């Protein structure tokens, strides 16, 4: 049921609704005339206008509040318009808007210190980028220069970004039309028990067999030709498949055995999303490089980076690192990171994400799975959950084919929005990925809306 919003109400940013709507209508017309959108057939989209946001909510072009279960693109970990982060950006803008990367700047230095404080092991140096894809580009470049090798391994069912190397690392259909087969990337199958490629009966088998498969790929490709293995600590867009116990430690062991650099992509999973500062912390593993973006400052100003271990940093101690960006460690982005990380510590936001996962989402989503025949599996950690929708529980036939949507999925998404929830959807999955600041009441409200939307999905189940 769409919420009816009275005229002349005030949005959380203080703007009158009728004025904001008029602005939104003009913005929409200009958007359709001039803005070229990511990953889209330009004439086939009707993008949603967003007029305002606060906490766990966004207000659409009509002024209807929607519970943001997407965190936009899974990055507003601290919620929308957090006052401390907004103030930090305003203060930094008044103090010093921009400084080129070759100079020292207080905001950048402090952001690097705070990030290093939370990374595992000795990943104590930070190279700042503008986002996640370029963080992965640079991590791979560092690994190639460090090892003197070229090839990189990454898993199918992964996303690592839209730039050249990053999109080739990606193991989902977004790679296909960008892949000329010359990127030096070889893909392997990672663990995913629900759709096991290894015919495993349980998590232990899945971990052992996925590791044996990875070892085999390394052998066949030639260990001495492989610079790095790149893995999302918990794969995000491709389905939030939390690795079974032992898998990540096994990957670490293979990397050590063959002198391969282990790059953990924490762009989506990092900074609280899984209920820990970094998702790799669930597995007690220390990678050689961590790439991050999104949650580091909740995307209030674009920022990403690579956290670098002592071993890799030493390669560039006396030999220059051949890479850089004009805006590396931009003060506005760095100030937003400092305020974000401090607020996350002060307000127990990572702990909140962990608690919501164990107390609300875990039990709540499992109850939905029991009630709805369209739910094949729910899985996740913290505020990072996937609902895998199927047309047939026995065969596990997905409700949309791999790499595509379907009328059934579109109906489910529409039902979420009609109920007042902005979902994150990918192929046959709905992800529950709200801000880490979400309250219990909001999380439960979201589950209720999902419950109603899943009734729509159930109608598409083959009886």
Ligand X SMILES: Cc1ncc(COP(=O)(O)O)c(C=O)c1O
Give the binding site for ligand X (CB under 6 A).
73, 131-133, 136, 159-161, 232, 236-237, 265, 267-268, 293, 304
Name the minimum Å distance from CB 425 to ligand X.
14
The dihedrals phi and psi of 253, each to the nearest 5 degrees, come to -65, -40
Name the minimum Å distance from CB 183 to ligand X.
16
Question: Distances from the Cα of 388 to the Cαs of 113, 315, 375, in angstroms?
Answer: 39, 43, 6
Q: Are strands 226-232 and 261-265 parallel, antiparallel or unpaired?
A: parallel
The residue (of 268 and 438) whose beta carbon lies closer to ligand X is 268
Instruction: Give the tokens for residue 315.
Output: 């390669």
Name the minimum Å distance from CB 304 to ligand X.
6
The residue (of 200 and 237) whose beta carbon lies closer to ligand X is 237
Angle, in degrees to the nearest 10, between helices 331-346 and 106-118? 40
The residue (of 71 and 200) whose beta carbon lies closer to ligand X is 71
Name the minimum Å distance from CB 7 to ligand X.
37
The residue (of 170 and 309) whose beta carbon lies closer to ligand X is 170
The dihedrals phi and psi of 45, each to the nearest 5 degrees, come to -115, 150
Name the minimum Å distance from CB 122 to ligand X.
23
Strand 57-60's sheet: what is its strand order? 50-54, 57-60, 65-68, 421-422
The residue (of 131 and 171) whose beta carbon lies closer to ligand X is 131
The residue (of 11 and 231) whose beta carbon lies closer to ligand X is 231
Name the minimum Å distance from CB 58 to ligand X.
18
Name the minimum Å distance from CB 53 to ligand X.
19
The residue (of 137 and 215) whose beta carbon lies closer to ligand X is 137
Instruction: Give the tokens for residue 296.
Output: 């580091």
Question: Distances from the Cα of 360 to the Cαs of 195, 385, 446, in angstroms?
Answer: 26, 12, 11
**DSSP symbol at 437:** T
The residue (of 125 and 174) whose beta carbon lies closer to ligand X is 174
Q: Which residue lies nearest ligand X, judged by its C-beta?
A: 132
Name the minimum Å distance from CB 232 to ligand X.
5
CA 176-49-86 angle, 5° bins: 95
Tell me how far apart the alpha carbons of residues 378 and 155 are, in angstroms, rounded to a whole number.
21
Tell me how far apart the alpha carbons of residues 79 and 357 are, in angstroms, rounded to a whole number.
16
Tell me how far apart the alpha carbons of residues 243 and 210 are, in angstroms, rounded to a whole number.
10
- Contacts of residue 62, Cβ cutoff 8 Å, sequence gap at least 6: 5, 21
**Residue linked to tokens 């460090």:** 146
């Amino acid at each position: 049921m769409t919420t009816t919003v009275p005229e002349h109400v005030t949005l959380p940013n203080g703007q009158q609704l009728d004025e904001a709507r008029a602005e939104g209508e003009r913005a929409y017309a200009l958007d359709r005339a001039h803005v070229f959108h990511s990953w889209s057939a330009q004439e086939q989209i009707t993008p949603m206008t967003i007029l305002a946001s606060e906490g766990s909510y966004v207000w659409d072009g009509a002024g209807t509040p929607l519970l943001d279960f997407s965190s936009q693109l899974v990055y507003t970990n601290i919620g929308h318009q957090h006052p401390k982060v907004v103030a930090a950006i305003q203060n930094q803008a008044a103090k010093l808007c921009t400084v080129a990367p070759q100079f020292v700047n207080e905001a950048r230095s402090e952001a690097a210190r705070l990030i290093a404080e939370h990374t595992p092991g000795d990943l104590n140096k930070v190279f700042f980028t503008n986002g996640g894809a370029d963080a992965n580009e640079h991590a791979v470049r560092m690994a190639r220069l460090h090892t003197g090798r070229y090839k990189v391994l990454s898993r199918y069912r992964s996303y690592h970004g839209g730039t050249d190397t990053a999109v080739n690392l990606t193991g989902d259909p977004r790679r296909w039309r960008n892949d000329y087969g010359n990127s030096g990337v070889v893909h392997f199958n990672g663990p995913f028990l629900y759709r096991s490629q290894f015919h495993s009966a349980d998590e232990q088998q899945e971990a052992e067999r996925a590791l044996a498969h990875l070892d085999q790929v390394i052998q066949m490709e030639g260990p001495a030709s492989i610079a790095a293995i790149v893995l999302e600590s918990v794969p995000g867009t491709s389905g939030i498949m939390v690795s079974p116990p032992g898998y990540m430690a096994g990957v670490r062991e293979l990397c050590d055995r063959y002198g391969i650099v282990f790059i953990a992509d924490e762009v989506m999973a990092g900074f609280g999303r899984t209920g820990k500062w970094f998702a790799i912390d669930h597995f007690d593993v220390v990678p050689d490089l961590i790439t991050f973006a999104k949650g580091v400052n909740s995307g209030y100003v674009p920022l990403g980076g690579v956290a670098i271990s002592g071993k890799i940093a030493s390669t560039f101690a006396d030999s220059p690192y051949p890479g850089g960006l004009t805006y590396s460690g931009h003060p506005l982005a760095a100030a937003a990171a400092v305020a974000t990380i401090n607020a996350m510590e002060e307000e127990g936001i990572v702990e909140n994400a962990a608690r919501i996962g164990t107390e609300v989402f875990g039990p709540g989503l499992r109850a939905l799975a029991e009630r709805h025949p369209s739910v094949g599996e729910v899985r996740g950690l913290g505020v990072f959950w996937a609902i895998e929708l199927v047309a047939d529980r026995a065969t596990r036939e997905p409700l949309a084919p791999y790499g595509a949507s379907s009328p059934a999925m579109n109906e489910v998404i529409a039902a979420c929005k009609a109920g007042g929830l902005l979902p994150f959807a990918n192929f046959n999955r709905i992800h529950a990925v709200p801000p880490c600041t979400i309250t219990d009441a909001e999380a439960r409200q979201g589950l209720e809306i999902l419950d109603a939307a899943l009734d729509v999905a159930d109608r598409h189940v083959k009886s």
